[in-house]
Amino acid sequence: MQISPKIVKQLRDKTNAGMMDCKRALAEAQGDLAKAETILRTKGIASASKKASRATKEGIVASYIHLQGKVGVLVEVNCETDFVAKNQNFRDFVKDITLHIAAAHPLYVSREEVPGSLIEAEREIYRAQVKGKADGVMNKIVDGKLDKFYSTVCLLEQGFIKNPDQTIKELLNTKIAELGENIVIRRFTRYLVGEPLANEASLASAEEVAA
């Protein structure tokens, strides 16, 4: 079937995938934009999965300062080669990540980084909220609430600020497919003027308990 340039551009704007990839996905989806987007995301995940074991020893550290110096972000994003580290597509992706972190305030890169004690504390809160329900129902609700919690505090699970329908993980997978290398968001730090330091927050919490 004939695929119009307009719908190809729509798909490209939504997914950041290459023009030919968008055209092939639309052809496979018989022109259905939503199905074509799913096809591209599935292929991106498959491509990322194949490259996940590759070492990422290159990359860049990028910074972003926002709101007249009130918010600052440092992020390290790794790739496999210096060639990709210097690629403008890769650098634009890293810039988008710094902007997102400044705006969305994630606390961890992935759910694997969330402390077990915090997860258990959240579980206890959710269990108390659904107390009295059957165990099977309660566990399902608690797991759903935990997934929502992860999507709030974990960078990779947050909706991208420029396209909330796409998670950062999905955006990352798209870039891996585009650039042909494994890419890892290794770590980040977000600064907010006047925000308590970790040790200060812990001390304040201890003082509240003692009082």
Express each pLDDT in 144-203 by its tens digit: 999 999 999 999 999 999 999 889 998 998 899 888 899 999 999 999 998 876 545 444
Query: What pLDDT, on the 0 to 100 scale, is given for residue 65?
Result: 95
Ranges of residues in the chain with a pLDDT under 50 are 199, 201-211
> What's the DSSP call for residue 112?
G
Query: What pLDDT, on the 0 to 100 scale, is given for residue 49?
Result: 66
Residues 6+ apart with CB under 8 A from 103: 161
78 — phi, psi (to 5°)? Answer: -105, 150
For residue 145, which of 161, 164, 130 has the smallest C-alpha distance?
130
Separation between Cα atoms, residue 152 and residue 77, nearest integer Å: 21
Query: What pLDDT, on the 0 to 100 scale, is given for residue 206?
Result: 34
> 58 forms bridges with which residues in the sheet?
79
Length of the chain: 211
